[in-house]
Chains A and B, each alone.
Chain A
């Protein structure tokens, strides 16, 4: 996983509430066996009309947001499916960070495992960041300091899951880390085999 320390970008303002995983990546695009190449299909219903024609001035493809790496979103972002295709698609578009008042649990976890930071801030601060995006001004997200900075103006602090932060800052392979606990897992299994033998057929 790519390590994350800071990212600076003009944020894409997209403050819609309850943006679900079908909005992020529609079901018809899940028929892939790869993690890459989903960016072109992301936010399909916003970037393309009902006949499938590209809407040129949509928020995601318009300059300067077409090269943004921060997305500012509305409440309950990423609700719906557990499909990791959603963060893959957002990452493939170039986003490294999504800022919203709240995120669906599974989506936030999936983002962390793909080097995308999900920052929760209160609605008043989101409104300010949306305005910054609309004014085409850059903001900086710093995971080490857990801050969002508007250059020469305000700074907002956020909380972040300590385990995810450590993984993200260091770009660690979570499976590799867990395998270091192999002895503890085996010890657990041996005990569990005695308590609930019916869950082990081999």
Chain B
């Protein structure tokens, strides 16, 4: 019987079938950060339980870490408490840990792949919905809640119901001026934020195959924004070349065995998907969100839609509320919307390739005087180091950007990096929810090149003409 990649990985991990599509599924890797883990560790402690497998877990602080003045005491006592609690927990439970002052520290979903922790064919979980990023390697990787973190700690398994499968094919060559972020936004625009609910997506097609690992991670990262539990890309030579030689990668004689296993995971010819969606290169243009849901996406050349243009009355109400919150009028050309802040970073767009794309837009220009703050936050200390070796930091600083230390930063504003009420942010992050980047902040999701273009012009621009 033909199987999809998801079918194969699922079947390889079933410890016990429980009927009705539910299984006790084995978990190979868990990554941990400070926000969603304290209550899970507390649960273990209260029940007098231990970690089942020390070597399957790794922790790194990211959400709360300041991106500047790290040598000073943390300005926020509750952030400080969460970071200290993580340190106490990894100590007490003997968990692998990458501390804040380690060059490998960064956003969990940047660190996992970078260290070779993320590999094809594994099941990988983290108390963070953007764990879907790791599916770029052909892993089954998904976000879980704190109760499930505790369950995986104690049992190395989860009780799960198998999702349906969807194949999203994107065919053609990535158009000039576009990136994997525009592909991700196009998919969400097409599916809607609930379109993937109940599904695991496999991305395929020539445009996906042509992406680097960084691009595939950006694409898989936003699967959760379409409601999907996980996103995956079949492992190929691009994947193997990325993994080889990384600290947690298979070594010596195990390497060839691993590659042979990984190659066996790809979906069989003629495998049945519950749903198929196809996009072509005509669907991929520089995109910007105008509202407070990632599905509120339009080409940068378009005008902000009127609520009456939506067929569904509930969507009309939501669009009105969105426009009110965003302080935008229907019919305004997107390129006339000015930006107050610019943020390049997050688990979506903070890898070396994202920073290269951002830097390429600068071309000796400076950020607009109307922009209050423009920050570049690398995804890890190693990304930061690599960018500095290439001289990208100098390009950013000379143009007026701030060059920061790695972390989640202004993606969700749990650290001091925030936008003020009413401010418009050109952001490479993944969510434009109400108050996501600070109470009252207005987020527009864009690619790294589009964010830099907006920083230079002071408003959104079509990077293809820039």
Q: Does B251 belong to the interface (CB within 8 Å)?
A: yes
Q: Report whether B122 and A82 are in contact in the complex, using a CB–CB cutoff of 8 Å.
A: no
Using Cβ atoms and an 8 Å threshold, which residues of chain A touch B38? Answer: 33
* Closest B residue by C-beta to A82: B143
Contacts A82-B129, A175-B47 given: A30-B35 contact, CB under 8 Å? yes
Q: Report whether A106 and B439 are in contact in the complex, using a CB–CB cutoff of 8 Å.
A: no
For the complex formed, measure the closest distance between the CB of B321 and the CB atoms of chain A, giving whole angstroms.
Answer: 8
Q: Report whether B19 and A162 are in contact in the complex, using a CB–CB cutoff of 8 Å.
A: yes
Q: Report whether A80 and B431 are in contact in the complex, using a CB–CB cutoff of 8 Å.
A: yes
* Closest A residue by C-beta to B433: A22
Q: Which residues of chain B from 112 to 153 have any CB-CB distance to chain A below 8 Å in the complex?
A: 119, 121-122, 127-129, 131, 142-148, 150-151
For the complex formed, measure the closest distance between the CB of A122 and the CB atoms of chain B, giving whole angstroms.
Answer: 14
Using Cβ atoms and an 8 Å threshold, which residues of chain A touch B147? Answer: 84, 110, 113-114, 174
Contacts A106-B229, A179-B155, A198-B254 given: A28-B55 contact, CB under 8 Å? no
A56-93 toward B: CB 8 Å interface, digit per residue (1/0)? 00000000000000000011100111111001000000
Q: Report whether A174 and B197 are in contact in the complex, using a CB–CB cutoff of 8 Å.
A: no
Using Cβ atoms and an 8 Å threshold, which residues of chain B touch A53? Answer: none
Q: Report whether A181 and B436 are in contact in the complex, using a CB–CB cutoff of 8 Å.
A: no
Using Cβ atoms and an 8 Å threshold, which residues of chain A touch B250? Answer: 198
For the complex formed, measure the closest distance between the CB of A117 and the CB atoms of chain B, giving whole angstroms.
Answer: 15
Q: How far is the CA of A199 from the CA of B47 in the complex (A)?
A: 28
Q: Report whether B431 and A113 are in contact in the complex, using a CB–CB cutoff of 8 Å.
A: no
Q: Report whether A84 and B434 are in contact in the complex, using a CB–CB cutoff of 8 Å.
A: no
* Closest B residue by C-beta to A46: B434
Q: Which residues of chain A from 151 to 202 have any CB-CB distance to chain B below 8 Å in the complex?
A: 161-163, 173-175, 178-179, 181-182, 184-185, 188-189, 192, 195-202
Q: How far is the CA of A79 from the CA of B431 in the complex (A)?
A: 11
Using Cβ atoms and an 8 Å threshold, which residues of chain A touch B146? Answer: 35, 84, 110
Q: How far is the CA of A30 from the CA of B197 in the complex (A)?
A: 25
Q: Report whether A76 and B317 are in contact in the complex, using a CB–CB cutoff of 8 Å.
A: no
Q: Does A102 belong to the interface (CB within 8 Å)?
A: yes
A-B contact count (CB 8 A): 201
Stretch binding the partner chain, chosen from B79-87, B171-179, B297-305, B383-391 = B79-87
The one of A33, A182, A185 that contacts B42, using a Cβ cutoff of 8 Å: A33
Q: How far is the CA of A28 from the CA of B36 in the complex (A)?
A: 14
Q: Report whether B129 and A80 are in contact in the complex, using a CB–CB cutoff of 8 Å.
A: yes
Q: How far is the CA of A10 from the CA of B379 in the complex (A)?
A: 47
Using Cβ atoms and an 8 Å threshold, which residues of chain B touch A52? Answer: 439
Q: Does B22 belong to the interface (CB within 8 Å)?
A: yes
Q: How far is the CA of A165 from the CA of B54 in the complex (A)?
A: 32
Using Cβ atoms and an 8 Å threshold, which residues of chain A touch B145? Answer: 82-84, 87, 106, 109-110, 113
Stretch binding the partner chain, chosen from B156-164, B282-290, B353-361, B397-405 = B156-164
Q: Does B261 belong to the interface (CB within 8 Å)?
A: yes
Q: Report whether B227 and A175 are in contact in the complex, using a CB–CB cutoff of 8 Å.
A: no
Contacts A82-B144, A185-B15 given: A174-B314 contact, CB under 8 Å? no
Q: Report whether B421 and A50 are in contact in the complex, using a CB–CB cutoff of 8 Å.
A: yes
Using Cβ atoms and an 8 Å threshold, which residues of chain A touch B56? Answer: 199
Using Cβ atoms and an 8 Å threshold, which residues of chain A touch B63? Answer: 30
Q: Report whether A22 and B55 are in contact in the complex, using a CB–CB cutoff of 8 Å.
A: no
Q: Does B26 belong to the interface (CB within 8 Å)?
A: yes
Q: Report whether A33 and B129 are in contact in the complex, using a CB–CB cutoff of 8 Å.
A: no
Using Cβ atoms and an 8 Å threshold, which residues of chain B touch A35? Answer: 39, 146
* Closest B residue by C-beta to A36: B39
Q: How far is the CA of A97 from the CA of B49 in the complex (A)?
A: 30
Q: Which residues of chain A from 104 to 131 have any CB-CB distance to chain B below 8 Å in the complex?
A: 104-106, 109-110, 113-114
Using Cβ atoms and an 8 Å threshold, which residues of chain A touch B435? Answer: 22, 26-27, 44-45
Q: Does B238 belong to the interface (CB within 8 Å)?
A: no
What 4 pairs across the A-B complex have the smallest Cβ distances? A82-B143, A198-B250, A110-B145, A84-B145
With A52-B439, A202-B53 given, name 7 new contacts (CB 8 A): A45-B435, A76-B193, A80-B224, A84-B36, A109-B144, A196-B28, A198-B250
Q: Report A's interface with B, CB cutoff 8 A.
A: 15-18, 20, 22-23, 26-28, 30-35, 44-45, 50, 52, 74-76, 79-84, 87, 102-106, 109-110, 113-114, 161-163, 173-175, 178-179, 181-182, 184-185, 188-189, 192, 195-202
A-B contact pairs, 26 of them (CB 8 A): A16-B317, A18-B194, A20-B434, A22-B435, A26-B439, A27-B412, A31-B76, A31-B78, A31-B414, A33-B38, A35-B146, A50-B421, A75-B194, A104-B227, A106-B142, A110-B146, A178-B157, A178-B159, A181-B24, A185-B26, A185-B156, A188-B26, A198-B249, A199-B56, A199-B119, A201-B55
